[in-house]
Structure 1
Amino acid sequence: MPQPTPELAATDPISQYFATWMDRANAAQASQPHWMTPITTVTPRLEQEFRYDQYQEFLANGTQLNNYFAGKGLELIPTTTNEILINVPPFEQRTDTRTTTVKPATGFGDGNFVTIKQRLLSANEENGNYILSAFLGFQAPTGITAFTNRPAWVVTPTLAGGIGWGDFDVQGTIAYTLPTDNQHIVGTSLVSSLTLQYHLFDYLWPEFAFNNTLWTSGERANKDQLLVGPGIMFGRFQLYDRVKLNFGVAYQVAVAPDHAILAPELVPLYNHAWILSMRMTF
């Protein structure tokens, strides 16, 4: 079979698409703010990186839960206004159980395996320093029995935005979780987050975050939980060409409501947690 000439191969649209991938990523990032991605708020910015997060959670009933990867993974910029997130399912380890109703368990949880992000509008620091994006995430019921909503898939539409003034910026999201099955048990929820961030010197990004979940149906209907806490990111440390290293740590504590203590089995989040976040951008 005859092979295509180098000239024809060079004009092949698929080859051209991948050959110009970094050009599109550069253009996308040049036209948006250059803030650091917060630890517990999904940034509205388009980012290209591999990310690993780890949570050490302490529940109100005395249980400790270690969450590895925390649903993070590979983030890519396929066009100048889109991002796709291909996430690794969380690997969870429940230990130190002090109740007879919750048993120790180790295995994968349900994976938010893909999220599609569409940037709606943006301006870099010289032209307004703001951004607005919409996401659509899909969580698959792939976890073991202890950590799954099986058979429900969960679809999560999200709106995210941010604005900055000099070295200070605010990034926030609001999302609604929609299970495709067992809604009377899993329930729908309104999930919001807000992070206040400051860029200090060259490599320090201190932040303070608010994360709230309000269940609107299901077993936890009309209950909510607010987590607050400080964090700090360090970066961007250049390793090679476009490749940079960022890492950080955060602490969260539940400040509301009382039912998080009175009925911990109805609140699947945690009383407090330590979070480690590491990213390799490219």
Structure 2
Amino acid sequence: MTNSFASNEGTEPDSSFFSHWLDNVTKTQEVQPHWEPLLSMPSPRLTQGLRYNYNQQSFPNSSKLTNYGMGKGLELILGENVEVQIGIPAYLDRETPKAATSGWADETFLSRFRFIAANEENGNYIVSGSFGLSMPTGSDQFSSHNTILTPTFAAGKGWGTRQYGINIQSSLSASVPNNNLSTTGIPLSWIFALQAHILQNFWPEIEANYTHWCKGAYDGREQLVLTYGINFGRFDINNRKKITFGIGYQEPRWANFSTFSRGWISTVKLSF
């Protein structure tokens, strides 16, 4: 009897802690829109789960870059308006007509703070800010060799219900290296996205990502990339667990400069 009581006493606090934390996560997500994450643009929403992205880009000289992971990873909601992300370093594979190179990208972290939000019944909008950190931990041929800080401001507005509707989302960010500014430069990125919700689990989207480089090798150059895609989700697995997956096609448009010629992006996310 004594051993049984001691065992229960030891495990009950852990069960209570995680149950309380997950209840708070549910309450936190309930007061914001219930849109699916976009394929390319970081979500302004607070999200929780494990996400993996796959990206492949082609270049005019028959070269190809495959990105396994694309900086995504574990997303955790720690408070009423706070989320943190711990990236899983992406594995990169570059193929050219002359050689093939593989290696790891840099480690990334992100924190997000939600300023204001309302769910579909109370306004359907959200405004948030985030702060990203990239550390030069990757392979020599793929690392930026700099610590990069990326502040981002993001917002979104939707129309409709939790079952059907449309929304627009946008973000503005700058990636600032701590060193080698004349080589790395500062890319300023503005993303605008239109997402629809149809047939319960279908989320078609189009994203426009405009980048302007200050300083560095691309100083003064501009690029506009369009992403056409669709997400499918969230499908119930059990209890809190849900799965989402999506795919999209990317291409630079309306510019004389681009860092690639075309690409594919796909994602899968386990929410909990």
TM surpasses 0.5: yes
Amino acid at match of 2:175: T
**Structure 2: 5+ residue stretches without partners:** 1-5
Tell me the residue number matched to 2:238. Answer: 240
Tell me the residue number matched to 1:105. Answer: 101
Tell me the residue number matched to 1:157. Answer: 151
How far has the Cα of 1:192 moved from its partner?
Answer: 1.7
Amino acid at match of 1:157: P
CA distance in 1, matches of 2:10, 2:68: 43
- Listed as ranges, the matches of 1:12-51 within 5 Å are 17-51=17-51
The answer to whether the Cα contact below 8 Å between 1:159 and 1:175 also exists between their aligned partners in 2 is: yes
Tell me, yes or no, if structure 1 residue 228 matches structure 2 residue 199.
no
Tell me the residue number matched to 1:265. Answer: none
CA distance in 2, matches of 1:123, 1:272: 37
For structure 1, which segment, 18-27 or 237-246, has the greater mean C-alpha deviation from structure 2 after superposition? 18-27
How far has the Cα of 1:203 moved from its partner?
Answer: 0.8
Tell me, yes or no, if structure 1 residue 124 matches structure 2 residue 114.
no
- Listed as ranges, the matches of 1:1-282 within 5 Å are 17-95=17-95, 97-98=96-97, 103-112=99-108, 114-150=109-145, 152-166=146-160, 167-260=165-258, 269-282=259-272
The answer to whether the Cα contact below 8 Å between 1:9 and 1:15 also exists between their aligned partners in 2 is: no
Amino acid at match of 2:261: N
CA distance in 2, matches of 1:67, 1:228: 18
How far has the Cα of 1:16 moved from its partner?
Answer: 6.0
The answer to whether the Cα contact below 8 Å between 1:107 and 1:143 also exists between their aligned partners in 2 is: yes
How far has the Cα of 1:56 moved from its partner?
Answer: 1.0
1:37-76 per-position Cα deviation (integer Å, ceiling 9, x unaligned): 1101111001111001000111233210100011000101
What secondary structure, in the 3-state scheme, does the structure 2 residue paired with 1:32 have?
coil
TM-score under structure 2 length normalisation: 0.91
Amino acid at match of 1:105: T
The answer to whether the Cα contact below 8 Å between 1:161 and 1:172 also exists between their aligned partners in 2 is: yes
TM-score under structure 1 length normalisation: 0.88
CA distance in 1, matches of 2:67, 2:11: 45
1:116-140 per-position Cα deviation (integer Å, ceiling 9, x unaligned): 0000000001110000000000001
For structure 1, which segment, 119-128 or 215-224, has the greater mean C-alpha deviation from structure 2 after superposition? 215-224
CA distance in 2, matches of 1:59, 1:244: 36
How far has the Cα of 1:225 moved from its partner?
Answer: 1.1
Aligned-pair Cα RMSD in Å: 2.2
What secondary structure, in the 3-state scheme, does the structure 1 residue paired with 2:253 have?
strand
CA distance in 2, matches of 1:46, 1:111: 21
Identity of aligned residues (%): 34
Tell me the residue number matched to 2:3. Answer: none
CA distance in 2, matches of 1:215, 1:58: 21
CA distance in 2, matches of 1:230, 1:16: 44
CA distance in 2, matches of 1:11, 1:91: 40
**Structure 1: 5+ residue stretches without partners:** 261-268
Matched residues, number:
265
CA distance in 2, matches of 1:7, 1:249: 46
What secondary structure, in the 3-state scheme, does the structure 2 residue paired with 1:147 have?
coil
CA distance in 2, matches of 1:115, 1:238: 27
CA distance in 1, matches of 2:180, 2:142: 15
